[in-house]
Structure formats: C-alpha cells, structure tokens
Amino acid sequence: MCFIVLIASAQRKLMGFTEINTVSQLKWEKQFDSSLSLKNLDTWMLFLSSRPHHVGSVQGKANAEYMANLFKSWGYETTIESYYVLFPTPKFRALELLGSKPYTAKLEEPEVAGDRTSGQKSEQLPGYNAYSADGDVTAELVYVNQGIPADYELLDRMGIDVKGKIVIAKYGGSWRGIKPKVAAEHGAVGCIIYSDPEDDGYRAGDVYPAGPFRPKAGIQRGSVLDMPVYPGDPLTPGVGATKDAKRIKREDAVTIMKIPVLPISYEDAQPLLESLGGQVVPAAWRGSLPITYHVGPGKDKVHLKLLFNWDTKPLYNVIAKLKGSEYPDEWIIRGNHHDGWVNGAADPLSGMVSELDEARGIAALVKKGYKLKRTLVYCAWDGEEPSLLGSTEWAEDHQVELKQKAVFYLNTDGNSRGFINAGGSHTLEPFFNEIATDVNDPQTGVSIKERRYARTLVDADKASRPKLMGNKNIKLSALGAGSDWSGFLQFLGISSMNIGFGGEAAGGQYHSIYDSYDYYTKFGDPGYGYGKALSETAGRIMMRMANADVLPIDFGSFTKTVLDYVTELKTLLENTRLETETENKMISDKLFDLAKDPKVQYRNPASNDVVPYLNFSELENALAKLKENAEAFQKSYATSMLLPADKQKKLNEILYKAERSLTQEKGLPRREWYKHQIYAPGYYTGYGVKTLPGIREGIEQRNWKEAQENIGIVSKTIVEYTRQIEKAELITAPKKAF
C-alpha cells in the first residue's frame, strides 16, 4: 500500500482519474493537440460563411448537410433533427420623420470594398428585430437612453410620459428585448433601437473596413422575443416543435412583443434625435453623435410601419454521437449554433469550426485505440439567433431521455483573440481550472490561466490588487441567458458550462452584414490561434468528462458560491432598507425641493414603503448542513477512484443527477419554464444573470412576500440537493452513515 502511494505521489493525478488512467489520458491529450489543424478551421469557415445562413435559408440547410457529412466521415452516428418553428421575417419596413425637416430612414447596409460577401443583397435578411409586432403608428418621439426600468424612473421625474409615444433607445445596458418590453409596459406604441457610435462606432475606434468598428450605416439585428419568460418556439412552450406538436395561437404567445420594434444605424438615428425638443438629457445619457441630446418630444411626429411574414420554418440541428464503451447511456453533450443573422463568421462560426475540428480530433484518437467510457454527443444547433430555437426544441423534445442520460452540456458560441472566459455550474470550477493550466495561450506561450490572471491583476484598481495577488483561480461566472445552454441548465437541470476566448478583438460587426470571413480573418482571430486554443480547451473538457473514473464534481465550490450569494442578498436587503429610509426622510425634509433648479421641471421621487426584515434562518440552516456534507464527501472523493466498478457506476449516476435536484417543477415566479433555483436570466436584464433568482428578484422588485416564500423554496431545494450528497457519501464513506 505504502509502495503504491509513494509511486503515485511522484506522478500527476487528474481530478476524477486514477494514477494509471491519468498517465494514459495525458498521453492521448498530447496527441489530440498535435492533430488539430488551422487549415481545417479556415476551409470550413470559408465554406460555412460563404452566403447568408439564417433560419430557413438555402445556405443554412446546406451548412447543416455539409457538417453532417463531416461528422459521418469521422465515424459519428449522425442525424439531422428538424423542428418546425414560427420565424417572422420582414415584409415591409418604413420609418420616417414627418413635419418641417422630413427624413426617410434608409434602413440599408451598403456593400463595402474589400468585404466579398457584403454585396449578397438578395439573400440577406434586412435589419429587423425578430418577433416584433406588426404595426403602423404615427406619434411623438421620446429618447429613453437605454430603455431600462431605471431610465423610466428618471423620465418620470423629468415629467415625461411615453404613453402613446414612440421611444428611441440606444443599444446597451440590457439585452435588447428588455427595451420594447419595458416601453410597452409604460404605454409606448413603438420602439426604435439604434447603435450609438459611443459604444461600437467611431468613438470606440476606426470603422469598417479601415478598422473593426461599426460604420455609420451598420445595423444590429436581433431577437426581441421575451426569452426571460421562455425561449424557443413561441407556439410550443415546454414541448418539442415537431411537425404535429400541439401549438398555441400566435395571439396567445406571451413572448411575442406587443409593439413594433426596429433596429437602425446611427446614420438614420441622428436626424430623429436632432428633431427632439424638451430638456437636455442627463450627462450619463449622452452618446457620441455630434448633436445635443434632448429627451423630447419634438414638434414633428415619427411614422413607423412594420409588417412581417409570420411563417413556420424548418430547423436543421445536426446531432452526432460517438458511443462510449463502458457507460454508453451517459452522455457528454457539446453544442455551438450554426445559424447566423447574415454571414455570421464571428457569431457563430468561429466557435462552430473549433467544435468541428475538436470532434474530428477525438474521433481520430478513437480510431487509434483511445477508449471513451461515456458517449459523446456533438451538436450544431440551428435557430439560436431568433430565440435559442434549435437547442431548446431539442432539449424539450428529448427531455425524458436527457434527464436520464445527460451528464453534462458544454456550449461555445463566438470566439476571438484574447483571454479565456468561462461560466457554468459551480461544482465544475476546480475541474475547469485544472484544464486551464494545461492549455497554452497562442500569443504568449504561458497557460491560458496565467495569462488570464495577469490581465485580471493589471485591470484591477490598485487598492484591490493586494487581495488578488497570488489567487489564480478562474472563478466561473454564473450563467444567465445568451446562448444555447438554457434548455439544458435552466429547463432540465443538467450541469453546464460555456467557454470562449475574447477581449482583444473588440469591434462593431455584431449581427450586421459585416460579420464576414474577410472581417474575421482580419480582425477577429487572424491565423486561428484562438480557434485552436478553443478546440484544445473544449476537447479536454469533453475527453476528461467522458473518461473520468469518477465524475470531476466538487460540491465544496458550489457550497461556497451559494453562501456568497446569500451574503450578497442580505447585503442587498440591508442596503435597500437604508437607502429607502434615507430617501423617505429626504422627501419629508423637503431636501429635493430645496436642491433643485426652480427653472427646470423635475419631480421628486415618490416615497417607498419601509423595507421589512426577512427571515433567512431556514436557508442558513440548510446551507450549514450542505457545507458539512459537501466537506465530508470531498474528503472521501479521492478514495472513490478505488471503488469496485458497480459502486462507481452508482456513484457517478448520483453525482451527475444531483444538479437535477436544484430544479423545481413549478419553476420561478411568473415563468415556470425556468426551473433551476440557483441561476436564471434576469426578468428585466435579459442576458444578465440573477443568482437565487426567486429571492433576489423579489427583493429588487420590493415584493417582500414573494422573496420570503422563495427563501423557503430555495431552502427545500438545498435540503434535497444535500440528500443527494448524503447518498453519494453512503457509497464513498459507508462507515459515516452509522
């Protein structure tokens, strides 16, 4: 026994692997790295981005077939799975400023020299927001900054009501779908969203094609479906959109926007903004157009007319399986979407081509004798851009089988030069950090973990550096919405991660006709060094997940993270109480009246109800028990590598199914599709994550009763989760049970 320990201590041991299996795993990984091909990435990028490939396009289908053939040629059991979804496209678009200085918006992106696909006009979807309502409205215009709830509070204090008006909001501050949703809640009849040059235009850098930033006529397309309620086909919530699925009526689909919404360029936005009268906007609301920004309204009205083809379109998901030899019914799933708004080179193909080469590389190892314990499922999703359509419908359609078999889901999307970013289930943090040590940054040669650490320290303000010094751990961010993990993590409770490189290729091509092969190879990731680094990182995640003797789960990281969230919530509640008391006193002491410029119209804020104390004890007790059990389990984790096969199989099943117990069938308040109780997209932020969402959003929206109820729900969820860990302990440390 001592002899074995001595030898083992001289060797490296991967999380979840025995010493012997570690040696062979690392050997195969080396071979995997050397088999990856920059040339492949370029060949596939060139083909897949050669024509516009949105949902329902000729090239979209051709791309799915092209990739399916690749997977087949590498030995994957491959199918194309189709779903039939509501996908509106523009039939008519008009936006004009009426009155004394009329202007008709161009709503077009011109071809530019040096970008070979920018002139494919007849196949491009024009600038529009998918799932906007049809509408024909003429009304006064009001500028609402980013159009998020806080902006409307300020507008209210300025005495501006958007009821019956059209609002114009700039991109940023939230996911775009929040802007028309909040506008409609405030009674607006139309919504225009524009890209201010401040954010990704000339203020940020040289514009395309000279530089990577958004040219004056560039338009950011994108969905405005109310995805924080449920993503996927609006007509088939909770079930797969198969040909004969039961569909709800379009007018009953709550996720479709209630007012017309249109995205425009800053060239088209300028005359509209210039026409506005009223007060000058607060300093923080100014953009970078050469005008004085006013809130409005102006004396001239705006006319917005939008009509859509409300067609049902087929989706083409590519699903490719490589069967595991020991646990064929345990699935390690990997996905990236293949549809783009136009040519979509950066978003999504930069991630897609990396996934392809990774899948090829692993299959080639298998042919040489590398054994996969578990089954790999490689997916190329269609319809992510409109509303995570392909992945959501697939997850809903296969929910029974996935709940049984899915061990893990790994997502990627766009990828570019820079630093590794990773988000996901917190049980996977130590596992991911081990991998980040083993992959090298293509530009500097140090590990991607070292490079990310250097950047974090350099970016930090001087006061916080001493605390960060030496802490190289990459903290996984919590996942909200934004790409194809939602169906897996938030609907089914499957442990998930999303990874990608970025941060050194900022630009303004996003969702425009300029996100092209020429753009990406010049500005995104010239030479594909980071495409290869992504394959190396994601490939390791897939191979180690597939081949670990015991799944690399760490309940301690999860526990620590949730304890931090609870501390955050208590601080949030305490701060809300103090701020409310202070502001109420300022109102009663008439400080707002005394401070304001009497010549400017400005209302006082309304006073708020006193913030009650909430009782966190049930949750704190549940977490104390979780902590105790998580620590005990992790202590026995190392010995679990030595368990007999049948016990290991049982243990693994408990480990990967534990995440399911973090879901509640009833879902979150007012959005039952979102079942995970720890992570959800914000109801009013969209992409932005809300952790412990039931409690947090109750506090943020001053719904104290709901916040208290959700403390109870989360507590019960944690108790159930702890029970799973206890079950695992019965296998790894059976003595402790007595």
Q: Which residues bind Zn ion (CB under 5 A)?
A: 347-348, 413
**Number of residues in the chain:** 738
ω into 734 cis (within 30 of 0): no
Query: Which secondary-structure segment (H or E) carries 715?
Result: helix 704-732
How far apart CA 675 and CA 320 sit, in angstroms, is: 27
- CA 276 to mean position of chain CA atoms: 35
Per the CB < 8 A criterion, the answer to whether 488 and 494 are in contact is yes
DSSP secondary structure of 397-435: HTHHHHHHHEEEEEE-----SEEEEEEE-GGGHHHHHHH
Place of tokens 């919404």: 261
Please name the residues in contact with 361: beta carbons below 8 A apart, sequence gap of 6 or more: 32, 35, 36, 535, 539
> Cα–Cα distances in Å, from 257 out to 28, 266, 492?
50, 23, 26
Its sign, for the CA torsion 179, 182, 183, 184, is: positive
**Is the Cβ–Cβ distance between 269 and 216 less than 8 Å?**
no
Q: CB–CB of 178/188 below 8 Å?
A: no
Number of helices (H), then strands (E), belonging to the chain: the values are 24, 17
What is the spatial distance between Cα 298 and Cα 140, in angstroms, rounded to a whole number? 7
Q: Are strands 135-139 and 302-322 parallel, antiparallel or unpaired?
A: antiparallel
CA–CA gap between residue 237 and residue 209 (Å, rounded): 42
**Rounded to 10 degrees, what is the CA torsion of 577, 581, 584, 586?**
-130
- DSSP E strands, 199-350: 222-223, 261-264, 302-322, 327-337
| Residue 297 near residue 345 (C-beta atoms within 8 A) | no
What span, in angstroms and rounded, lies between the C-alpha atoms of 720 and 402?
Answer: 20
Strands (E), 274-382: 302-322, 327-337, 374-381
Element (H, E) at 418: strand 418-424
Kindly state the DSSP code that residue 213 receives in the 8-state scheme.
B
Name the CA dihedral angle for 28, 34, 36, 42, rounded to a multiple of 10 degrees.
Answer: 180
H or E element at residue 353? helix 350-367
